[in-house]
Amino acid sequence: MTRLFEGLERIEEARESIKGASFMSGLFVGKPDFDLLLPEPESAEEKAAGEEYCQKIEEFLINHVDPDEIERTGISREVLDGLLELGAFGMKIPKEYGGLGFSHKNYGRVLTLIASWSNILSLTVAVPQSIGIAMPIMLYGNDAQKKKYLPLVARKAISAFALTEPTTGSDAANVQTEAVLSADGTYYVINGEKQWCTNSPIADYITLIARVPSHKETVNGKTVWQAAPEGKDAEAKVHSAFILDMKSPGVVVTQRCQFEGCRGIENGFMTYTDVRVPVENLIGELGSGLKYALSILNIGRAVSVPAICLGMAKQAWQPTLDRANSRITFGKPIGTRQTQQMRIGKMAVDLFAIESLCELAWHMADQKHYDVRIEAAITKIICSEKALKFLNDAQIIFGGMGYETADSKRQRGEPAFGMEQLVRDITMYRIGEGATDILRPFVAREGLNTHLENIKGSIDEGMKLDELIKLMRFYIPWYLSQWNKEKIPDRLELQSYKVRTKLEYVERTSRHLARKIFYAMLLRREAMRDDQGRQDRIDIVGEELFTIIATALHAQNINHSYAWQLADEFFRASKKHIQKTLRQLIHNDDENSQEFGIKALKGDYDALNKGIIQRGLNDYIDKKM
């Protein structure tokens, strides 16, 4: 069972156990701590500061930013300089270093606002603060690095994050770029390449993840990695994080990458040839780079990507309603037809769910003693998936006008709303900072954590009698406890009947899920390590339960009938989905579908290629290059 997620071993090694308070960690074992959902409320001063800043940003966007021009030619230097002057690139940097010192909640609000005008601009602003050099330096850097670099990226410089390589996407552990310590120990020599690095063509600095040939030494009784000069006598090549000045000789952005959507983004392919980086530019400890990378990605997952998805969906909401009310087919507005009314109703529920998750995740991320890695992953999954469905539904309502570009419509005097652009762009947010198909097994890993820690290698390697007795001492009381109802905290915020009924359902279902996970482990044993269908279902139930809570708490905060209508409808639909998913956690036909996929990959269905000019992927390589 220790090989449960085969192929992710090095990522698993970099993973730290849940250390802070985690609501979802408790939910997966049938013990959700609802008190964790109600931390100290946001102060009036903090909220006012965010609202005041949003007004400044709104004025700047309206008067100085043309989102259609960004789509055509990219973001102008004038816009970037204006945002730097406003401090938009230093929202989370402490005031002592020239930043605004905003909470995650205020940071999310600003990103949502910018994304409602231009998601590309919002992404450009988010990258330096979520995964650029500011966050790793604030979390793991030393005082000298903070004093030197934080003031720069707060007001003057733009930064980026370089992790992905041609052979390294979600498999973050497979980084090949190397940083070799010089013979005199004063600098590292970096060689390699990175791709899909957002902001790299305009960045002044980047956080670079590279592997350093190293050996282990004992220092003050602790085993640590030490870089091997010129790579000699190295035991391993360990992932480490560096601050890289983009002006360094040997750094070349060879290509500005072009995508289906997000056409205004500055995203590059970079090469490094004998690039010298001073040893003082190492961030934190040698060998901890992968851990740092996975850690800082949590902020993008909890705040940045959800905020951008929320802004994009909100941008399309009113134009979609306007189109449904004004588009006439067969003598009636399409908004009067049941099919479209049902579609719009589902869109309203999903938009409310996205907004609710954002509010809850941002607030939880602001709690310094919380570990929100699971909540962050779930928030990113739900917001990106629901925003994708939301915008696709909006495009259906627009019809042909939703498929035509804004510039094309503008030439006829039609409303130049870029529906097709939003649809193209949103797909990136499903992929970036952890694709859904990668994050779901990640969340499932945490859902299985209690069992993995208890069982360890015994299922794979055979169980001794004393190990069996030890497990029985744990699991018999644990299993019996999964039938005992836990009391909902007697707090004023949870006294409402509408809130309590939903929390009672979540508490009850979390115990049901915990039992189902246990049954699945017993049923599948070692096969569970490759059973992504069941892993996904574990996560999906967790997603639904977390969103039920988020919508209930958000509705209570708003305290308006419309909010409760949407929260109740999400609850109704979610219960049906959870019931079906829990059944399929044990009984499903995944292996049938898998068998067809295996046969297709082996070439058993080659006849499906008949009737066309058949070409494989490699046939599309440009032979002239």
pLDDT tens digits, residue range 313-329? Answer: 999 999 999 999 999 99
CA torsion through residues 20, 25, 31, 37, sign: positive
User: In the predicted model, what is the mean pLDDT of residues 74-79?
Assistant: 96
Domain ranges, ordered by start, for the chain:
44-155, 159-287, 444-594
Amino acid at 334: I
CATH 3.40.50.10680 given to domain 159-287:
no
- What is the pLDDT, as a whole number, of residue 299? 78
pTM equals 0.93
Structure-token pair, residue 57: 């940003």
Q: Is the separation of the CB atoms in 193 and 166 below 8 Å?
A: yes
Residue 334 is classified by DSSP as G
Within 10 Å of residue 106's Cβ, how many Cβ atoms? 23
Is the model's pLDDT at 10 over the cut of 70? no
Tokens of 501: 């009924």
What is the reported pLDDT for 4? 39
Q: Which of 285-299, 451-465, 597-611 has the lowest mean pLDDT?
A: 451-465
Residue range 44-155 forms a domain whose CATH class is mainly alpha
**Residue 131 has which token pair?**
């995964």
Give the list of residues 6+ apart from residue 13 with CB closer than 8 angstroms, or none. none
Distance from the Cα of residue 488 to its chain's centroid: 30
408: phi then psi, degrees, rounded to nearest 5: -65, -40
pLDDT of residue 1: 36
3-state secondary structure of 194: strand
What number of CA atoms fall less than 13 Å from residue 424's CA on the CB side? 18
CA dist., res. 488 & res. 485, Å (int): 9
Separation between Cα atoms, residue 330 and residue 520, nearest integer Å: 53
* Concatenated DSSP letters of 554-598: HHHHHT-HHHHHHHHHHHHHHHHHHHHHHHHHHS--HHHHHHHHH
- Please indicate whether residue 433 is annotated as part of the active site: yes
Catalytic member of 433, 446, 543, 544: 433
pLDDT of 14 above 60: no
Confidence of residue 433 (pLDDT cuts 50, 70, 90): confident
Count of residues making up the chain: 625
Q: Among 236, 240, 231, which residue's Cα sits nearest to residue 207?
A: 240
- The pLDDT score that the predictor gives to residue 528 is 80
Please report the DSSP string for 222-281 in residue order. Answer: EEEEEE-GGGTT-SEEEEEEEEEETTSTTEEEEEE---SS-TT--EEEEEEEEEEEEGGG
What are phi and psi for residue 181, nearest 5 degrees? -70, 140
